[in-house]
Amino acid sequence: MTEQLGPAELPRAAALLRQGALVAFPTETVYGLGGDATNAEAVAGIFAAKGRPHFNPLICHYPSAEAAFADVRADDRARRLAERFWPGALTLVLPRAAGCRVELLAGAGLDTLAVRVPANPLARALLAEVGRPVAAPSANRSGQVSPTTAQHVLDGLGGRIAAVLDGGPCEVGVESTVLDLTGNEADGAAVLLRPGGVPVEAIEALLGPIGRALPVAAAAATQSLRSPGLLLSHYAPGLPVRLGATSLGRDEALLAFGPPLKGAAVAWNLSERGDLREAAARLFAGLRWLDAEGTRQGCRGIAVMPVPETGLGAAINDRLARAAAPRG
Ligand code: TXA
Ligand code: MG
Write the CATH number for 204. 3.90.870.10
pLDDT of 98? 94
Question: How many domains would you assign to the chain?
Answer: 2
Residues 153, 16 share a domain: yes
Residues 142, 27 share a domain: yes
Residues 136, 19 share a domain: yes
Residues 67, 25 share a domain: yes
Which DSSP category does 97 fall into?
P
Q: How far is CA 259 from CA 185, 241, 252, 303, in A?
A: 47, 20, 17, 14
Which of the listed residues 110, 120, 138, 212 should we mutate to test ligand 1's pocket, taking the one with most ligand atoms within 8 A of CB?
A: 138
Measured N-to-C along each axis, helices 276-296 and 313-324 cross at an angle, to the nearest 10 degrees, of 20
Residues 217, 304 share a domain: no
pLDDT of 108? 92
What is the model's pTM?
0.85
Residues 196, 247 share a domain: no
Q: Has residue 233 been placed in a domain?
A: no
Segment among 93-107, 258-272, 279-293 with least mean pLDDT = 279-293
Q: Has residue 157 been placed in a domain?
A: yes
Read off the pLDDT band of 213 (50, 70, 90): confident
Q: Is the pLDDT of residue 327 over 70?
A: no
Q: Is the pLDDT of residue 275 over 60?
A: yes
Q: Which residues constitute the domain of residue 280?
A: 241-324
Could you tell me the distance, in angstroms and rounded to a whole number, from the CA of residue 138 to the centre of ligand 2? 4
Residues 204, 75 share a domain: yes
Q: Has residue 17 been placed in a domain?
A: yes
Cis check: omega of the bond before 87, within 30 degrees of 0:
yes
Domain stops at, among 164, 187, 222: 222
> Do residues 226 and 189 lie in contact, with contact meaning Cβ atoms separated by under 8 Å?
no
Q: Is the pLDDT of residue 166 over 60?
A: yes
Q: Has residue 230 been placed in a domain?
A: no
pLDDT of 147? 92
Residues 181, 134 share a domain: yes
The 10 Å Cβ neighbour count of residue 75 is 15
Domain stops at, among 222, 249, 279: 222
Positive/negative CA dihedral, 113, 71, 318, 56: negative
Residues 249, 218 share a domain: no
> Whole-number mean pLDDT of the chain?
90
Q: Has residue 46 been placed in a domain?
A: yes
Residues 245, 210 share a domain: no
Which of the listed residues 29, 47, 91 should we mutate to test ligand 1's pocket, taking the one with most ligand atoms within 8 A of CB?
A: 91
Helices (H) and strands (E) in the chain, counts: 10, 15
Domain stops at, among 161, 190, 222: 222
Mean pLDDT of 185-199: 80
> Which of the ligands is closest to the CA of residue 27?
1
β-partners of residue 36 are 134
The residues, ordered by sequence, that sit 6+ positions from 218 with a Cβ below 8 Å of its Cβ are none
> Which of the ligands is closest to the CA of residue 118?
1
pLDDT of 184? 66
> Do residues 198 and 176 lie in contact, with contact meaning Cβ atoms separated by under 8 Å?
yes
Q: How far is CA 311 from CA 26, 148, 161, 213, 238, in A?
A: 27, 26, 16, 31, 28
Q: Is the pLDDT of residue 52 over 60?
A: yes
Backbone angles phi, psi at 179, to 5 degrees: -120, 125
Q: Is the pLDDT of residue 1 over 50?
A: yes
Residues 65, 153 share a domain: yes
Could you tell me the distance, in angstroms and rounded to a whole number, from the CA of residue 84 to the centre of ligand 2? 25
Residues 252, 217 share a domain: no
Which residues line the pocket of ligand 1, CB cutoff 6 A?
27, 29-30, 32, 56-59, 91, 93, 107, 110, 112-114, 116, 136-138, 175-176, 178, 180, 193-194, 227-229
Q: Has residue 198 been placed in a domain?
A: yes
Mean pLDDT of 146-155: 92
Distance from C-alpha of 115 to C-alpha of 38, rounded to nearest angstrom: 14
